[in-house]
Structure 1
């Protein structure tokens, strides 16, 4: 058995390690294929039409091998377009009048500056506005598949690219699956495969299928079929989507699969990205999400009694992410719980494990990447929609036949609820008569963990929301009542949970009660040398060790190491 790396000789630390040469995968595309695959012509036309001068090119990891060639093509075509610009020609005709040469006139046209974004701050499906703004970009060209979430600041040119697919295998699988030619079927596909949908749909219509709907891309995650068009009957009545079966090309993201499975009749997935396109024996399989839904509901019930939530900001580009943050904070606050906000890049288990006092995490990101399924995380991670379900009272919590991945839909639903609220409940809460001794107990009913059955003593560390509303809304004339309420709450907070500047802090309470390790050397008592008068004697200053780790020297004596 080989010795671990920590047991190697100390001299190895100073030895220069030869750099590892990583063999990069060469591009398999010819110049013509590259030009078509990355839509160089359309990209140049849109850049010219938008009059953008600083352009950021965002590639996913598997496309970075083509990035330098795409950069060169765009740079050369933009240069050629500037030469042929009609405005330059017009200025060139007036050279005699302006006393300028044609070369000087050409230089007056500002050249476009291109920049490749090699590593995304968040998921590859999201537009990386943060990295683009670091380069002062005016527009982002996004390559590859995308979640199509609306951006907050910069315009975007989407280049979806395309992957090959065996159309004959798709048709054979469809015909074996849907023998009834009157079946209502929506043909969907991951973005790189959408180019084949019109051909597949037309072939099916030619074979006598009467109710085939070919979906088209639509930049709207809140659509009944996210980012896809829907049949006309579904636009007027979304419930009619239950009549339609979905045939999906390639495996959809988990969040999309949950949404589809609860909205349509059935979902069948054709594994377009699992093997060779020349093989015709691929068959579509029906997607089942029952086990996944049970697992997600178990996480929701598990986090219903958590006292402290962490909110992970996993995007700074998707519009309305600040409103989504405020929405989650309001939900947690109304439930009497505490929340802390963390801005992270790509979420991994090591990052979130640093905060063990957090009982559960909520991710605010794009609708595709917010659903994180992994057993590596120390605490569960849920979505804003699942947070709403988790913080619903036990006797009211119902797992309905819906799944919402886009937080813009949640914000719209909340706005409708506020608009429909007549305010009667609030007026009932603010009336306080008598004193607290005559009132029913202000404590919330006991709360138990559904998994263990144990009583949770600090499920609501911030106190009940109703009590806070009452303490704020008592009229100015009821000074005595207001003082009784506020003093009772302050006394409970000081007695149960640590506070910082008068504010309840479950994080500080965790440090005080559960984290006992104080640092290196904390188990040794510090003793100072004192003189005859009891004053602390300072240590004598002396020259310390110097040199390199291989051999230290003390002062000028090279023999002492």
Structure 2
């Protein structure tokens, strides 16, 4: 009984599990890591080029972002960069000192003005996907730029300049050519050679070797920063030099030969854009976290599973917008567009940021019927293992919000936010659709029809059952008080200035709670279905005790909190 409690219930994690990481690390053990000399590591991490770029751009505070698989080399990289930076700065000082010998300035003045203290920071345990630039962590260090190591999705960043070091990997060109010849025996085959960014430097030599063996229609890809291109982040300059800048090709007649195992999102994206895909698995290395080779022939079954998730979201009433990035450019406008799409369909949306995704975090929101991920084109594809509710991409949400009559599955797929750009006409049409729906509802109410008979029924195509609550916001519009009594509708929700957060709107199937005058299916779920509503709801040892004075706490980033009105450093 709550009245028998003398202390709040224990809700914290037991001490023995405090430091347990639920997500296994992708880094290889020391026993499996190859031994590399300093010269080899300098070549792998491109120490000279990185230091030259830092000096050229005059960056004083640089964040070095490593994935888990490269984290063991991070201390060595920092020391090597510091040595190389000192060499470059000394050489620059020597040249400047020689030029000012005849001037009024002294060499000491030149050294004081030109030689600046550079700070390097190691970023690990990224807030989101390792392929994305972690600008949030870099801003905690007040960094001027980020050096990103390893695989990258190359999504445009929002705030900081980025230097991508893909790392240089060894590859046997003859072995790659032999594998290609086994897959394609016809010398007239039209094929595009592509590689993971870590092996991109080997694409041109492999193409030259295949041309020497008699293949006439072999095309090499080049890296660009355009995830929305036909081949994400790649262009085929030799395919059509006139329209090469558009990076928009019809590749249905071309086969793709990919060096190194690509991410699953890339396989699904290209499955409907090219004639076929072949993969050449690269040797095991400490810089490649993928251990299994994807089977391109399995993409059709994976797409069917994705379509099944789309059908589940089509009948959802509450959809969570899951923010999986705070760095990808234009992610805020994507969130606004998704909200408009969900509201136009008569559903409720909630925007949630949880950092790295796992089943335990998402299970805390039991009222959410499904999730849509706002992230880069790679992190938008979330593994469904262990998840209680489906997680889809913005492209898939666009299909789910269509009616059963207009929804057509063509096999096309995309995982990023680039395909969800807000169009001016689309926003106007969405507003008109909502206004038309509200006008029809008002007319029905005036005619005496106040139930859902005017709306077409919604069926779950997987089970064949009728779903009565798939459009809760339209039900709220229909059941709301008349606008002549002071309430008005805006964007598919009801605003009633006179009502409080605990008010209810009656509807045909029951009641729906209002929060600040806005219909809230989430609040209704909390009121009617949740058995526990938070700390303090079942514990009140001293009702007559005076409340503690509320004081302003800390704010800001971890490296420099502001405490109340005073400035303080943590």
Q: TM-score, normalising length from structure 1?
A: 0.78
Sort the Cα spacing of 1:494 and 1:53 in 2 relative to 1 into closer, same or farther, 3 A.
Answer: farther
Sort the Cα spacing of 1:35 and 1:537 in 2 relative to 1 into closer, same or farther, 3 A.
Answer: closer
Identify the residue that residue 353 of structure 1 maps to in structure 2: 363
Instruction: Tell me how far 1:421 sits from its aligned partner.
Output: 6.5
Question: Does residue 457 of the first structure (1) align with residue 499 of the second (2)?
Answer: no
Question: Does residue 418 of the first structure (1) align with residue 426 of the second (2)?
Answer: yes
Instruction: Check conservation: 2:318, 2:368, Cα contact below 8 A.
Output: yes
Among residues 307, 321, 326, which one is paired with 2:331 in the alignment?
A: 321
Instruction: Check conservation: 2:264, 2:294, Cα contact below 8 A.
Output: no
> What does residue range 56-71 of structure 1 map to in structure 2 within 5 Å?
56-71=63-78
> What does residue range 513-528 of structure 1 map to in structure 2 within 5 Å?
513-517=528-532
Instruction: Check conservation: 1:311, 1:364, Cα contact below 8 A.
Output: yes
Q: Deviations over 1:398-457 (max 9, x none)?
A: 11231122312221xx42753997998789768779774448777322222222222222
Among residues 106, 109, 124, which one is paired with 2:111 in the alignment?
A: 106
Aligned residues: 496
Identify the residue that residue 47 of structure 2 maps to in structure 1: 40
Sort the Cα spacing of 1:114 and 1:435 in 2 relative to 1 into closer, same or farther, 3 A.
Answer: closer
Distance 2:284 2:36 in 1: 21
Q: Deviations over 1:114-165 (max 9, x none)?
A: 1111221111110110111111111101110100000000111111113323
Instruction: Check conservation: 1:27, 1:66, Cα contact below 8 A.
Output: no
Distance 1:509 1:420 in 2: 31
Instruction: Tell me how far 1:388 sits from its aligned partner.
Output: 0.8
Question: Does residue 289 of the first structure (1) align with residue 299 of the second (2)?
Answer: yes
Among residues 268, 272, 275, which one is paired with 2:282 in the alignment?
A: 272
Which secondary structure state, in structure 1, belongs to the residue aligned with residue 282 of structure 2?
coil
> What does residue range 149-548 of structure 1 map to in structure 2 within 5 Å?
149-230=155-236, 231-232=239-240, 235=244, 238=248, 240-273=250-283, 286-411=296-421, 414-415=422-423, 418=426, 436-438=445-447, 443=452, 444-463=455-474, 490-492=505-507, 495-517=510-532
Instruction: Tell me how far 1:507 sits from its aligned partner.
Output: 1.7
Q: Deviations over 1:79-102 (max 9, x none)?
A: 12112216862487348834x5x3
Instruction: Check conservation: 2:191, 2:257, Cα contact below 8 A.
Output: yes
Distance 2:271 2:205 in 1: 25
Q: TM-score, normalising length from structure 2?
A: 0.77
Sort the Cα spacing of 1:334 and 1:164 in 2 relative to 1 into closer, same or farther, 3 A.
Answer: same
Which secondary structure state, in structure 1, belongs to the residue aligned with residue 325 of structure 2?
coil
Distance 1:465 1:396 in 2: 25
Gaps of 5+ in 1: 1-12, 277-281, 473-478, 529-535, 539-561
Distance 1:380 1:283 in 2: 25
Distance 2:438 2:135 in 1: 45
Gaps of 5+ in 2: 1-14, 20-27, 287-291, 497-503, 546-570
Distance 1:36 1:518 in 2: 56
Larger radius of gyration: 1
Instruction: Check conservation: 1:334, 1:464, Cα contact below 8 A.
Output: no
